[in-house]
Amino acid sequence: MGWQAANRLLRLAKRNPPIDIDSHSTDITRPLEMQTKVNRLLLWGAALAWLGGLAKAEVSFEKQVQPVLASACLSCHGEKKPKGELQLHTHTGLLEGSEYGKVVVPGKPKKSSLYTTTVLPSDDDEIMPPKGEPLTADQANVLKEWIAAGAKWPEGLVIQQVRRIDFVKDIKPILEVSCVSCHREEHDKGDLRLDERQYAFEAGEYGAAVVPFDLEKGTLYQTVTLPADHDDLMPPSNKGGPLPKEQLDLLRDWIVQGAAWPEGLKLEQVRRDTGKQPEAGGSLAAAPKGVVDIRNKAIEKLIEQLEPTMKPYGGEIPGTGVKFEMLPIPSGEFVMGSPAKETGRKETEGPQHKVRIAPFWMAKTETTWNAYTLFIYEEEEKMVMKIRAYKPELNAVSDAVARPTTPYVEMSFGMGTEGFPAISMTQHAANTYCKWLTAKTGHYYRLPTEAEWEYACRAGTTTMYSFGDDPALIDEYAWHDGNSDSKYQKVGTKKSNAWGLHDMHGNVSEWTLDQFVPDIYATFKDTVSNPFEYGKSLYPRVARG
């Protein structure tokens, strides 16, 4: 099946870069070719005065109201399948309201649920928008003042949905890498700080760095978009400037949408990636050989002592009732890759080489929608936990893990969710899911390396398949184009391999940790231990299965 990668916990036999979710192959045994100083008091007073002025100034529909509606409301209340029969992409739809009545009463914001639902407590079931971060005070105030002024709407204007910018996911990394090194506490060049919201938004000598809804008034966007040879370009050319277009677009859209910055969030400097792979163990690489040998032997001895104690165990996402099973995979050596004469072999599957693998646990099945939905839809998780009377304060650690942008469409594409494998996530999202699960459970989870994945798939065999060389048996072990009706199927319904792992052949592809390098196998000499190709760029990455 070519549906893009679902993933296992430390499990995520084909070697490929990511594939398009629309592609699928009739070849079920071989790889698919698969393809992001002025006094502080006075300054803060100026910022407050600006915020106060925002309420008094006439609100611009195009510059302020439209960006809020387009980014925060239309994902649920657009033209297609509007929730509650409320359409907010046209003036007519706005005035007609929802199946529950009017949402806007021109001139009366406190009687308009379009506004009042945005200022409810964050844990209120009726808060809007229900997904992602609540509207900021600036954004909610724009709706309030617009309604108070009569909720005027340009004649004939139809609003199109735009992606809502997530500060933690989209903006924080840009500022921390490219700005905070020079503009933070005790290191504020030009009396400018960009590590905290209050300082980024306050009016300084040259004005505020960020002015919600206004690109022209804020100095941040003006300086990052200067020509590459301009003396005032930020960051300077010797410190990573100019920023790539993708980052400039994110900054632009963030400001246009109201520059949401979570309350109390302070940014920290992050050093720019040099593109060099970090050496394992840091300073250990410079240690005398004798010290390294002693360390390695100590680790090997510890593994020998602990491996016999590794048993299968059942995991559960706290407060949800969603369970998963983990199986121990024994240590050992195997020949990775496929023989040159094997039918259907691709160039990226060779040359064969010997690999030594340490013991680990792997999920018995692919990760299901039951579990992944709790990660991508925070409100779904909260609802389940509320039903089960689980205390939300126990989520303090996992709530700090960034979640993916809420999908615009239902991502199972009608193929099923209960017990079916989760699909259509990026490798970064799969990694972050593992981080979230680690925070939820207190046990460390990650994707497997490519070598770990193939080792677990082979389960001690040297044949074309984990069940032998006879293709006639494939239907007993795998879902594929010939028996799946062009859909993924429930996990664990076919026979497992010798180590109890299901769906290692077929069903959906699975992410691994490794960067995809077509000729990487040719670089291995002798027997290699636990190989892992560190990612020097975001993509391509290796998907298997």
Confidence of residue 8 (pLDDT cuts 50, 70, 90): low
More confident residue, 26 or 522: 522
Residue with tokens 């009377």: 389
Strand order in the sheet with 353-357: 332-336, 353-357, 528-529
Whether residue 213 is predicted with pLDDT greater than 60 in this model: the reply is yes
Confidence of residue 345 (pLDDT cuts 50, 70, 90): confident
Burial of 193 (0-12, 13-18, 19+ CB in 10 A): buried
Give the pLDDT of residue 521.
Answer: 83
Whether residue 240 is predicted with pLDDT greater than 60 in this model: the reply is yes
Distance CA 477, CA 493 (A): 9
Give the pLDDT of residue 517.
Answer: 86
For residue 249, how many other CB atoms are within 10 A of its CB? 13
- Region 234-262 average pLDDT: 91
Name the token pair of 373: 């939905």
Name the token pair of 199: 């300082």
Q: Is 81 strand, coil or helix?
A: coil
- Region 81-104 average pLDDT: 91
Whether residue 442 is predicted with pLDDT greater than 80 in this model: the reply is yes
Q: Is 421 strand, coil or helix?
A: strand
CA torsion sign for 130, 90, 103, 153 is positive
227 cis-preceded (ω within 30 degrees of 0): no
Type of residue numbered 287: A
Distance CA 53, CA 499 (A): 67
Instruction: Tell me the average pLDDT of the chain.
Output: 82
Q: Is 328 strand, coil or helix?
A: strand
Distance CA 381, CA 373 (A): 8
Q: Is 216 strand, coil or helix?
A: coil
User: What residue ranges define each of the domains in the chain, with the CATH number in brackets?
Assistant: 1-36+311-329+358-545 (3.90.1580), 59-148 (no CATH), 181-256 (no CATH)
Whether residue 351 is predicted with pLDDT greater than 60 in this model: the reply is yes
What's the Cα-to-Cα distance from 514 to each of 15, 452, 510, 520, 540, rounded to whole Å? 10, 11, 12, 11, 9
Task: Outline where 64-109 has alpha helix (H).
Answer: 66-72, 91-96
More confident residue, 443 or 1: 443
Whether residue 23 is predicted with pLDDT greater than 80 in this model: the reply is no
191: which residues sit within 8 A by CB, 6+ positions away? 37, 204, 205
Distance CA 277, CA 535 (A): 8
β partners of residue 324: 315
Give the pLDDT of residue 272.
Answer: 64
Q: Which of 222, 226, 230, 227 is nearest to 192 (CA)?
A: 222
Encode burial over 108-133: b for 16+ CB neighbours within 10 A, e otherwise.
ebeebbbbbbbbeeeeeeebbbbbbb
CA torsion sign for 153, 154, 155, 161 is negative
Give the pLDDT of residue 279.
Answer: 42
Q: Which of 334, 350, 332 is nearest to 342 (CA)?
A: 350
> DSSP assignment, residue 363?
E
Encode burial over 41-73: b for 16+ CB neighbours within 10 A, e otherwise.
eebeeebeebeeebeeeebebeebbbbbbbbbb
Distance CA 234, CA 254 (A): 18
Cα angle 140-143-146, degrees, rounded to a multiple of 5: 145
